[in-house]
Structure 1
Amino acid sequence: MAEKLGDLLLTPAEMAAVDAATAESGIASFGLMWSAGAAVAGAALRLYPGALRFAVLCGPGNNGGDGYVAARRLAESGAEVAVFHLGDPARLHGDAARARAECALASQPLAVYIPGPGDVVVDAIFGAGLGRDVPQQVRSVIEQVTGAAVPVISVDLPSGLDGRSGEVLGAAFKAAHTVTFMTRKPGHLLMPGRELCGSVEVADIGIPARIIKAHSSGMISENTPVKWAHLLSSAKLETHKYKRGHLAVFSGGAGKTGAARMSAMAGLKAGAGLVTIAAPRDAMAENGAHLTAVMLHVVDDGMALRDWLADERLQTFVLGPGFGIGAKTRDFTAALSGRHLVLDADGITSFKDDPRELFNLFAEGEPHLVLTPHEGEFARLFPDIAADRRLSKVDKAQAAAQRANAAIVYKGADTVIASPDGRALINTNAPVWLATAGSGDVLSGMIGALLAQGLPAFEAAALGVYLHGEAGQRAGKGLSAEDLVAHVQPF
């Protein structure tokens, strides 16, 4: 399954390098601006054929130039168009100045725009490279447009959004539709940017793919099957349960066993050949009363665990859901440092006082630890990274993965999966109703099952997150963790 150009995510800095290299190659940059503006005009007419007026808001750079081209094309189509500019248009230069000169439509200062009934706003003020809070006059227009519920089509990215992080810089338009060019940026996928972009259209404006690929690090992408499907061997007739891996999930004591069962059942549904719950003796009857296909094994303490680990077939474990916080959890983690481990929930929080203790256990060799923190758990393990406001969620996940030598699943509506080698994937298929008690326990079991089947830590984490989202879509609104497990399917 080959990666398509549209699967790439370019940061604003990488896109700027692409633009510069395109110009150096001899391709006329104004032709690209013309194509961009035409794509925006085409989207506006297609989506809002009944608009009474298109209000085109043009900024002081090339994003504004795209807007002037769009305004001209809209006017040529017979639409009513009004153009508004930010700053002194006489100070435009290069392609943007030419686009305004050829537009031949009079423009008014942005501050005088008042949204009217039947308006559709074409937001061409700032693009993806904005790195500062929007000025007050732009904030004021954004507030008026938002209050009037006027539909917005944004050029490249809604003005006020950071194209690298998806964060709002003071204020931002909420677009119904966004037209970007050649590739998306991380800000189109990361929250809250994803919600503010509306539907996203990627327009091919004629930049050669070779130039884009030459200036893309290739390290940040959307989490799609192209990233891991090649690692999944198709099922064969001779495949048996041991070839599909043995996953062990640790249970808490009596009265605290439900989370482990969620993980274990999810692991079985996700394709593990065998699943065992390792539980204290006082929790055996409680677990046994609810399980049939999942096996049980008594593990009361660290000594019993180390005895069990003499069986070299035991290579993959899930620790943390419902297990309890404290020294026992840390001792179990240390015993498992040479095996594949998904550490979640209580497992993560047990190391909050000394995260380095955890990192040292898994510092050597290929990554075989998967950490699945939500926002609060992430801050407990990586307090300095979490507090750095200069970093995007992707940056934070990448830094954490490198420090821990682990695959990081930084959970949320925009879950980011990161590898110590710098790769990062942004997941987009999870429905909002996945935010329910026990959902994370299900995810841990799914990732554990994929590790047990031989996938590397990063790919197992990425596939697990993707399949988790698919299960949530199938289960539908109002799901419980039990519903989610019932809808888990292998890829």
Structure 2
Amino acid sequence: MNDDDALLTPQEMAAADQAAVLAGHSGATLMENAGAAVARAVRDRWAPRPVAVLCGPGNNGGDGFVAARHLALAGWPVTLALLGSVESLKGDAAHHAALWQGDVLPLAPSVLEGAGLVIDAVFGAGLARPVEGVAAATLRAAIDRGLPICAVDTPSGVDGHSGEVRGMAAPAACTVTFFRKKPGHVLLPGRALCGELVVADIGIPESVLGTIKPRAHENTPASWLPRLPWPRIDAHKYARGHVVVMGGEVMTGAARLSALAAARIGAGLVTLAAPRAAWPVYAAALTSIMVQPVTDERSFADLLSDTRKNAIAIGPGAGISDATRAHVQAALATRRAVVLDADALTAFTDKSATLFHAIHGPCVLTPHEGEFGRLFDRAGDKMARARRAAQRSGAVVLLKGADTVIAAPDGRVAINANAPPDLATGGTGDVLTGMITGLLAQGMDPFDAACAAAWMHGAAAAAHGPGLIAEDLPGLIPRVLRGLKNDGRPAAS
């Protein structure tokens, strides 16, 4: 994982603050830097106007007092309102409240009268209870008035760990957080409520990450690009791996999309195993992809007896049947790299233990939420569910969505946040399955392959933009690969 992309839970961020204090950075200074960063973000984005700074009873409120002081010194008209009393503030928040020279009003919707901007410093990312009462009423009034909001750390009510909303939250035009993002900044619905996200350096030394050892990060190329397989000058097609995609009899397009994506992302050879009845359809539609007819489970196993066929994809268009389950078990029995998606997962509804018991080699499961619920417990937030599923199954689990979560059995988690809404169309998941399988065939680690494919999948969709259909994606993969290769970072040997 790349430390620059680390995502810190609220508990880990508290540990980072404490480690910084132990290293000689005072809490008051860190708060001063945080509030100043908020004021700077406001000045950079808005012309001077009356601003209402809404402060809470904790350190988030302390940041608000600092921001208010800096804006007032810059000549902005500032109204400051506090939830609770100044006398109840403690520690660094009390210190900075004492430096504020203006009035402190009680938090209420009335403090928004005449305001042209709101700073939401009521509650931070570690909030453990719903936003309600006067805080909720004041934030709702800001929404009703259409006032732009700059949130401190997270919009009040957004859980920094899960991105879930506790009670209510006012959408921010800009959110200023500190040192590193939190999972709630990239998971939905939190991501949609943060607006533009600014990560401010407030003086916490990078070295604290060595103590915290965060297990979650945002999925960016920096985390896996050094291990992305590029063709060597002496490479041949077998050295680049041989993918097998199992096709179905009826929904033939799904497996074709997977096969094309596997080839585009660099697999040296791709074979589509087609049921004999549908073989003419596949053979007529594909050119660079080999099409091999299979009649039953035994013939599929015979196809896999060639050990050069080192990565197998099953699920897209496969059909929910005993045959699909048998194909999955035959693939897993090879202990080669296997990607299971769609029907290959649904076929094991109420038989998840059988599936998990068969996983011994490299394996990636790519469920959407519905498929996930047929195999796994859906209790808890998305990151926790994916992590628990990976540990239970022994496979990398890529839980799809606009905030795709990729979890490894060892507890690592990556959150992919670059997917545009244009991907919400049939067949795009089949392309992703092929991309992951193609990277596995070239020797990439399952977690890295899932992360790299998810990011490139999003980048390809963004390169196309509106009007995207699944057939567009394989042809866009080379453009994304060129961009990655030309950015100057080292490729895998």
Q: TM-score, normalised by structure 2?
A: 0.94
SS at match of 2:71: helix
Q: Contact between 1:6 and 1:182, CA under 8 Å: does it hold in 2?
A: no
| Aligned position for 2:291 | 296
Q: Contact between 1:114 and 1:144, CA under 8 Å: does it hold in 2?
A: no
| Aligned position for 1:18 | 16
Q: Contact between 1:325 and 1:350, CA under 8 Å: does it hold in 2?
A: yes
- Looking at structure 1, the residues matched to 337 and 109 of structure 2 have their Cα atoms a distance apart, in angstroms, of 62
Whether 2:394 is the aligned partner of 1:414: answer no
SS at match of 2:402: coil
Whether 2:411 is the aligned partner of 1:429: answer no
| Aligned position for 2:374 | 380
Segment of structure 1 superposing worse, 163-172 or 286-295: 286-295
**Over 4 Å off, 4+ runs:** none
- Looking at structure 2, the residues matched to 402 and 313 of structure 1 have their Cα atoms a distance apart, in angstroms, of 29
- 1:218 CA displacement: 2.5
| Aligned position for 2:304 | 309
Q: Contact between 2:460 and 2:476, CA under 8 Å: does it hold in 1?
A: yes
Which whole-Å deviations, capped at 9, do the CAs of 1:187-220 have from their partners, x for residues lacking one? 11101111111111111111111124312x3310
- Looking at structure 1, the residues matched to 237 and 328 of structure 2 have their Cα atoms a distance apart, in angstroms, of 26
Letter in 2 for 1:200: L
Q: TM-score, normalised by structure 1?
A: 0.95
Aligned counterpart in structure 2 of residue 30 of structure 1, from 28, 31, 36: 28
Give the number of aligned pairs: 478
Aligned counterpart in structure 2 of residue 282 of structure 1, from 270, 277, 280: 277
| Aligned position for 2:141 | 144
Q: Contact between 2:52 and 2:119, CA under 8 Å: does it hold in 1?
A: yes
- Looking at structure 1, the residues matched to 20 and 474 of structure 2 have their Cα atoms a distance apart, in angstroms, of 49
Segment of structure 1 superposing worse, 331-340 or 437-446: 331-340
| Aligned position for 2:97 | 100
- Looking at structure 2, the residues matched to 394 and 239 of structure 1 have their Cα atoms a distance apart, in angstroms, of 39
| Aligned position for 2:490 | none
- Looking at structure 2, the residues matched to 323 and 234 of structure 1 have their Cα atoms a distance apart, in angstroms, of 31
- 1:322 CA displacement: 0.6
| Aligned position for 2:449 | 460
Whether 2:217 is the aligned partner of 1:221: answer yes
Q: Contact between 1:165 and 1:190, CA under 8 Å: does it hold in 2?
A: yes
Letter in 2 for 1:293: S
Superposed counterparts of 1:70-469, under 5 Å:
70-116=67-113, 119-215=116-212, 217-253=213-249, 255-337=250-332, 338-362=335-359, 364=360, 367-382=361-376, 384=377, 386=378, 388=379, 391-469=380-458
Q: Contact between 1:115 and 1:150, CA under 8 Å: does it hold in 2?
A: no
Contiguous gaps of at least 5 residues in structure 1: none
- Taking only aligned residues, the RMSD between alpha carbons, in angstroms, comes to 1.4
- 1:117 CA displacement: 5.7
Letter in 2 for 1:458: F
Letter in 2 for 1:334: Q
- 1:375 CA displacement: 0.6
Letter in 2 for 1:127: G
- Looking at structure 2, the residues matched to 266 and 117 of structure 1 have their Cα atoms a distance apart, in angstroms, of 56
- 1:112 CA displacement: 4.2
SS at match of 2:329: helix
Letter in 1 for 2:291: L
Q: Percent identity?
A: 48
